[in-house]
Structure 1
Amino acid sequence: MAKRTHFEIGGERVAPGTRARVDIPVSTLSNHTPVHLSVEVIHGRRKGPVLFVSAAIHGDEVIGVEIVRRLLRAAPLNSMAGTLLAVPIVNTFGFLNHSRYLPDRRDLNRVFPGLSAGSMASQLAHIFMEEVVRRSDVGIDLHSAAIHRSNLPQIRLTPDNERLADLGAAFGAPVMMESSLRDGSLRMAAEAAGVDVLLYEGGEGLRFDEAAARAGMAGTLRVMRRLGMIAAKGVPRAKARPVRARASSWYRAPRGGLFRGFVGLGDAVAPGTVLGAVANAFGDVESEVVSDQTGILIGRTNMPVVYEGDALFHVAETARAAAAAEGISAHLDVGALFDEDEII
């Protein structure tokens, strides 16, 4: 059997059976501080796929950073096959500023594959594509809801992609939802380059959510197991089958005012379910928000003060909502995802 070769990235070589942190130059701040795209490379002794795991493409979505931190300390990685490229913070600029965007207000996830001589966002997208994505076979991109919103842990995948459907089922998030590719997104650029990407959503911007962190960590390990990169020991089993949804609906504020939500993430809803209400400050005018779908609540606002048209609830449509809600409660049992002594 041929000896495994070094893995090359950012002008450095990582030997088989070792791990290294590679800092790829990106830019320099106005105060002369250098900015890097930092990648933790774990290059196994045995052959296997190259998987990238990325977080904080939107700088305020910090839950993915915590998931990567925990992943890099996980015991199953000690005898890994293949290669893991872990990038806890892609958008350093937004991360430092507690912002979704880059300093020029561009959304990094709308400029892929980028240009080597374009805007700051475009250059960063280009570096990430060339140094990380194109060196990989498959990827997991970690996200959360925006600030003031929360998402139920969920996997989004490209419709009619059987490989991603298989990996999404292995991930084992409470909900697996088909989601079309958007122009300029990492997923679209990666798939055009032949690299399939699962997108994980869970929790809220600028907040840690323990259930979302553990679901993301456990799911990533299960995908690595499915790819043959790690053994089964130390990889938690999913407590229930994911709910698969092919469509979803947003419910918006019918008026401006004070919002009260009556359903929580993971709850089953049906036509006629009152999701919440928006009232004026005097309490003499109130408008209910009523579901016209059968499904599972996968996202909601946390803001009590809303404008007319604000997104309040996100419902994944599924005919088996009531049964699915029971399985989701098992998914969200934090103690069931890991034993307490396994929290890292």
Structure 2
Amino acid sequence: MSNKTFVLLGKEIPEGKRTVLDLEVAKLHTRTTVKVPVIVERSSKPGPVVLLLAGIHGDETNGVGIIREIINLEINKPKNGTIICIPVFNIFGYLIQTREFPDGRDLNRMFPGTLNGSLASQFAYQFTKEIAPFVDYVIDFHTGGGERDNIAQIRCSKDDTKSLELAKVFNPPIIVFSNKITKSLRDTLHKMGKTVLLFEGGKSKELSPTIINEGVNGTKNVLIHLGLIEGTIAVRESPIYVERAKWLRASHSGMFKIKVTIGSYVKKKEVLGVLQDPFGEFKKKIYAPFNGHIFCINKTPIVNKGDALFHMSIED
């Protein structure tokens, strides 16, 4: 974007200044207006506009922690271009620590939204109309739902060359090739011609220092690569690419004991975990059906038959 006037949510963003805007969508039944803070840092030099967004699901606090740390370290102050931070997008769910919106809907299945639809749909519409058109790149931070614990990873489509290039620059432990989900934020932004990275890491209702560190370092790499901030891109090792994966499900109901660590490479027939009843009468081992990496583990202590337990890459 050139050094012309930059207007967001009806307000002109001055060069070289920090501006905090409020995305106002709805009022609670108590008449309290719910405002979503939008933190804009615009440099005095032209460059791309990057949006860092977290908390689309209200209980996914690791992403909120990543953006908080980025702001704390002043990584969001660009030498060129503009960096927009929305640390808590679904402020309704964040306040009461639930994944969904108050109307029970998953906000990440409501895009691009409608002007007079459900509350979540109106919220999605407001974002799609008022913020999305003015950004070039988006990093959307997520975590595993419920007790599902994800290793730090970037998800992108294999045929999306721009996103894949940035995913490599981000340098997470794992890059998972996954198709875009209809009506998701990623799908809508992609259709608008934006380059999107979807970060997954950790589990809901936690602040994991490891996950936050991965998110901050990866974002910093991307911002350096795009020329917004100065610095040296940190590369530790080549990410593992997951082209095919499978959820391993519980063959029985019972208490779940995990025998492997997240991110580990396992070989076929290796014991991944054990299912036991509370009375000491049966014990069922869970074996790896093939070679691969474990990149998500359901950390719940008690499982039902059919529950997803391990997300594992299929490697020949």
User: Structure 2 length as normaliser, TM-score?
Assistant: 0.96
Confirm whether residue 167 of structure 1 aligns to residue 166 of structure 2: yes
Q: How does 1:248-263 map to 2 (within 5 A)?
A: 248-263=245-260
SS in 2 for 1:4: coil
Match of 2:268 among 266, 271, 274: 271
SS in 2 for 1:126: helix
Contact kept, 8 Å, 1:154 with 1:202, in 2: the verdict is: yes
Structure-2 separation of matches of 1:79 and 1:200: 21
Confirm whether residue 222 of structure 1 aligns to residue 228 of structure 2: no
The one-character-per-residue Cα deviations of 1:278-319 (angstroms, maximum 9, x if unpaired) are 111122212221112222111111111111111111112345
For residues 60 and 77 of structure 1, do their structure 2 counterparts lie closer, same or farther at Cα, with a shift above 3 Å needed?
A: closer
Q: Which amino acid aligns with 1:161?
A: D
Contact kept, 8 Å, 1:5 with 1:16, in 2: the verdict is: no
The equivalent of 2:86 in structure 1 is: 87
Q: How far did residue 76 of structure 1 move?
A: 4.5
Q: How far did residue 270 of structure 1 move?
A: 1.8
The equivalent of 1:14 in structure 2 is: 13
5+ residue gaps, structure 2, are none
Confirm whether residue 176 of structure 1 aligns to residue 170 of structure 2: no
Structure-1 separation of matches of 2:126 and 2:71: 23
Structure-2 separation of matches of 1:121 and 1:109: 9
Contact kept, 8 Å, 2:42 with 2:77, in 1: the verdict is: no
Contact kept, 8 Å, 1:85 with 1:132, in 2: the verdict is: no
The equivalent of 2:124 in structure 1 is: 125
Contact kept, 8 Å, 1:56 with 1:143, in 2: the verdict is: yes
The equivalent of 2:63 in structure 1 is: 64
Q: Which amino acid aligns with 1:137?
A: D
Contact kept, 8 Å, 1:76 with 1:231, in 2: the verdict is: no
Q: How far did residue 3 of structure 1 move?
A: 7.7
Question: Structure 1 or 2: larger helix share?
Answer: 1
SS in 1 for 2:89: coil
SS in 2 for 1:70: helix
The equivalent of 2:103 in structure 1 is: 104
Structure-2 separation of matches of 1:318 and 1:226: 31
Contact kept, 8 Å, 1:21 with 1:40, in 2: the verdict is: yes
RMSD between aligned residues: 1.5
Q: How does 1:176-325 map to 2 (within 5 A)?
A: 176-232=175-231, 237-318=234-315
For residues 57 and 79 of structure 1, do their structure 2 counterparts lie closer, same or farther at Cα, with a shift above 3 Å needed?
A: closer
Structure-1 separation of matches of 2:21 and 2:78: 21
How many residue pairs get matched? 316
Contact kept, 8 Å, 2:2 with 2:47, in 1: the verdict is: no
Q: How far did residue 151 of structure 1 move?
A: 0.7
Q: Which amino acid aligns with 2:284?
A: S
The one-character-per-residue Cα deviations of 1:175-234 (angstroms, maximum 9, x if unpaired) are 00111011111111111111121100011101010000010011011111111111115x
Q: How does 1:47-58 map to 2 (within 5 A)?
A: 47-58=46-57
SS in 2 for 1:284: coil
Q: How does 1:23-62 map to 2 (within 5 A)?
A: 23-62=22-61
For residues 216 and 14 of structure 1, do their structure 2 counterparts lie closer, same or farther at Cα, with a shift above 3 Å needed?
A: same
The one-character-per-residue Cα deviations of 1:147-177 (angstroms, maximum 9, x if unpaired) are 2221100000022111111100000110001
SS in 1 for 2:98: coil
Q: Which amino acid aligns with 1:74?
A: L
Contact kept, 8 Å, 1:41 with 1:86, in 2: the verdict is: yes
**Greater Cα offset, 307-316 or 72-81:** 72-81
SS in 1 for 2:223: helix
5+ residue gaps, structure 1, are 320-344
Structure-1 separation of matches of 2:269 and 2:165: 34
Q: Which amino acid aligns with 2:102?
A: P
Q: How far did residue 80 of structure 1 move?
A: 2.3
Q: Which amino acid aligns with 2:71?
A: L
Q: Which amino acid aligns with 2:205?
A: L
User: Structure 1 length as normaliser, TM-score?
Assistant: 0.89
Contact kept, 8 Å, 1:26 with 1:127, in 2: the verdict is: yes
Q: How does 1:321-340 map to 2 (within 5 A)?
A: none
Structure-2 separation of matches of 1:145 and 1:232: 31
The one-character-per-residue Cα deviations of 1:129-163 (angstroms, maximum 9, x if unpaired) are 12222211111000011122211000000221111
Q: Which amino acid aligns with 1:317?
A: I
For residues 3 and 122 of structure 1, do their structure 2 counterparts lie closer, same or farther at Cα, with a shift above 3 Å needed?
A: closer
